[in-house]
């Protein structure tokens, strides 16, 4: 029955797509699958709901909100590239999903050039202000602050990199004029968009209480003292003004002009934890083009973002250790599959917590950590009879570096978003974008929220007489777990574009999905839907109210410390099979996948 419905949908989609192409050009942007709807009206039935696989022959977008997906499709339909679509999508996400990402934050991006078959990665991670010291998160008694006391206000705001990243990819990979990429976000900012249940739920929870601390955010999100509600029409005229400036003057106005003035004043005059970010820091910000980190797993090349992201290294280590176990034969319903995945994850996180940080400040032993002999040695620590006691110790891939550093896991919160795109030219983007915790620092300026990304640094500079690699330093980029990923087959053809929000759990979410596709041959939506079992070198966390709960007792008997909880991933993926593109979106959030 399900197969019949999928085929029925595909046939309808193809017929409707052909019919749309016969329409004369009117000079008005027509949304895909919506011809006469109002400019800002979004009907749910126009898009595949999360948990419904999408099919396409030409291009595909999977992102965290239907408004953002529509904006991306408008650009792709005009002949734009994945880079063009990413700009439009991110700008709309800033408006409709402000708790997760925006121009006040940072991002990592993989860009695959389909014509030249070349993969490049861009580091748009935030940086610590130049006047930062290693005592940024140390109180007057010389003790590291509690996380909750550091996360709100100006102290934790790093120099935003997302806009600079968007400008960079547009310059190198875009086709549509810069100003045209702002049309959807300006239209929605001025005309209003329908507030989602997810945004409303965040506002009426604890994070909403933090937002109320600051006048600008309080006045905008709590008109009359109450949070905006699911279904309300919300306009953001301040953001519209900022968008118009950016569309006409470029990002220079953000990093050097009037918007930069607003950012500096907001951070330095914060009612809570005034910060150090200055206009000078903004002016000095640069996107860094870094080499991708690639490794092989079951004859597939898995590529991701290198440090300061820990994602590609940790994923590579986990999969490298799992090469020694026959997960394909075990399958997704066998407890031992999840046992081995959890054990490999413990060991990878032990190494991550000790060695991975900004490579411009720290010598990260990337090649040694991904060395097949080293990973085979680490895999020998995994037993079928008993779980490794946690925290598992870090390995010793390079003794000289091992003696210098002490481990520190740090803390992070799940306030991130992921965008996957394939365009009609065969180009692709995997972009994970964030302002850190929900609503970032809670500080709002010029219609957008600022990040609290500096809390991704380790608060203490050293432990037990050894330095911590991820300690705070001026102009340094904090370690991240964001894991934008692309997979290529044995002939180097693009097969999968994937990523997720979720703090440090991102790594586990992405690993599960890769294994589900590669080892268990699941379609992209089924792979995303699969219940989570995550271990970050501590408790084995099992997703509440999913089939994964049936593994709890058996894993506990093997020595796992089990914690059952909601695991709110936001996986957005695109799978290429023969001449068909299929997209999936995480039903745990409000995103959708759609194409043409």
Q: How far is CA 377 from CA 261, 380, 382, 389, in A?
A: 53, 5, 10, 17
Cα angle 2-21-194, degrees, rounded to a multiple of 5:
65
CA dist list (Å): 566 to 147, 271, 337, 366: 21, 33, 21, 32
β partners of residue 592:
63
Active site residue 416: yes
Measured distance CA(504)–CA(313) in Å, rounded: 13
d(CA 357, CA 407): 11
Helix (H) or strand (E) holding 434: strand 428-434
Angle, vertex CA 38, rays to CA 102 and CA 445, nearest 5:
25
- Per the DSSP assignment, residues forming a β-bridge with 294 are 303
Question: Residue for token digits 């950016």?
Answer: 246
Catalytic residue among 159, 366, 416, 445: 416
Chain CA centroid to CA 567, Å: 15
- Do 571 and 509 contact (CB within 8 A), yes or no? yes
CB atoms within 10 A of CB 566: 11
- CA gap 253, 445 in Å, rounded: 14
Residue 588, classed as helix, strand or coil, is coil
Please tell me the distance from the alpha carbon of residue 595 to that of residue 430, in angstroms, as a whole number.
16
- Residue 440 and residue 456 in contact, taking contact as beta carbons nearer than 8 Å: no
Answer whether 447's CB lies under 8 Å from 189's CB: yes
Site of tokens 């990973």:
375
The alpha helices in 174-229, defined as continuous H runs, are: 183-191, 197-203, 206-211, 215-221
Residues 6, 9, 11, 13, CA torsion sign: negative
The catalytic residues are 416
């Amino acid at each position: 029955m399900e197969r019949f419905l999928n085929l029925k949908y595909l046939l309808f989609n193809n017929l409707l797509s052909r019919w749309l192409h016969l329409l004369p050009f009117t000079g008005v942007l027509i949304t895909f699958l919506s011809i006469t709807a109002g400019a800002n009206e979004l009907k749910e039935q126009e898009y595949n709901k999360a948990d419904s696989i999408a099919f396409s022959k030409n291009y595909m977008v999977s992102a965290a909100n239907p408004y953002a997906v529509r904006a991306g499709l408008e650009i792709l339909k005009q002949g734009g590239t994945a880079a063009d679509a990413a700009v439009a999508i991110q700008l709309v996400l800033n408006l409709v999903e402000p708790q997760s990402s925006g121009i006040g934050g940072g991002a990592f991006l993989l860009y695959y050039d389909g014509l030249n078959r070349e993969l490049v990665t861009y580091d748009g991670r935030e940086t610590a202000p130049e006047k930062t010291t290693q005592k940024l998160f140390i109180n007057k008694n010389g003790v590291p602050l509690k996380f909750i006391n550091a996360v709100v206000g100006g102290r934790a705001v790093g120099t935003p990199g997302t806009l600079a990243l968007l400008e960079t990819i547009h310059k190198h990979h875009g086709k549509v004029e810069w100003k045209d990429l702002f049309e959807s976000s300006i239209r929605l900012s001025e005309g209003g968009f329908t507030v989602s249940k997810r945004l409303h739920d965040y506002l009426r929870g604890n994070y909403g209480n933090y937002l109320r601390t600051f006048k600008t955010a309080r006045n905008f999100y709590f008109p009359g003292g109450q949070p905006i509600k699911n279904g309300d029409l919300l306009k953001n005229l301040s953001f519209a003004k900022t968008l118009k400036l950016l569309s006409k003057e470029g990002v220079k106005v953000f990093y050097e002009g009037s918007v930069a003035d607003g950012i500096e004043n907001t951070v330095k005059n914060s009612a809570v934890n005034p910060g150090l970010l200055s206009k000078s820091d903004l002016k000095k910000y640069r996107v860094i083009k870094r080499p991708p980190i690639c490794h092989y797993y079951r004859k597939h090349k898995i590529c991701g973002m290198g440090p300061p992201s820990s994602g590609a290294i940790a994923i590579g280590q986990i999969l490298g250790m799992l090469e020694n176990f026959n997960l394909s034969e075990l399958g997704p319903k066998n407890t031992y599959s999840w046992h081995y995945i959890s054990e490999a994850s413990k060991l990878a996180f032990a190494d991550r917590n000790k060695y991975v940080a900004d490579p411009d400040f720290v010598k990260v032993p990337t090649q040694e950590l991904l060395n097949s002999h080293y990973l085979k040695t680490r895999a020998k620590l995994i037993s079928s009879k008993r779980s490794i006691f946690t925290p598992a110790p870090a390995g010793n891939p390079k003794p000289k570096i091992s003696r210098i550093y002490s481990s520190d896991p740090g803390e992070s919160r799940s306030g991130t978003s992921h965008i996957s795109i394939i365009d009609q030219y065969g180009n692709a983007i995997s972009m994970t974008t964030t302002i850190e915790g929900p609503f970032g620092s809670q500080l709002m300026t010029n219609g957008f929220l600022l990040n609290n990304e500096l809390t991704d640094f380790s608060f203490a500079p050293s432990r037990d007489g050894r330095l911590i690699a991820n300690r705070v330093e001026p102009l340094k980029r904090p370690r991240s777990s964001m894991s934008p990923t692309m997979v290529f087959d044995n002939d180097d053809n693009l097969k999968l574009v994937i990523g997720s929000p979720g703090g440090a759990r991102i790594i586990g979410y992405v690993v599960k999905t890769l294994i589900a596709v590669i080892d268990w041959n699941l379609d992209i939506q089924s792979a995303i839907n699969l219940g989570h079992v995550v271990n970050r070198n501590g408790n084995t966390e099992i997703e509440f109210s999913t089939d994964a709960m049936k593994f709890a007792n058996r894993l506990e008997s093997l020595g796992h410390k089990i914690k059952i909880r909601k695991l709110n991933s936001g996986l957005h993926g695109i799978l290429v099979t023969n001449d068909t593109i299929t997209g999936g979106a995480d039903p745990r959030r409000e995103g959708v996948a759609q194409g043409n």
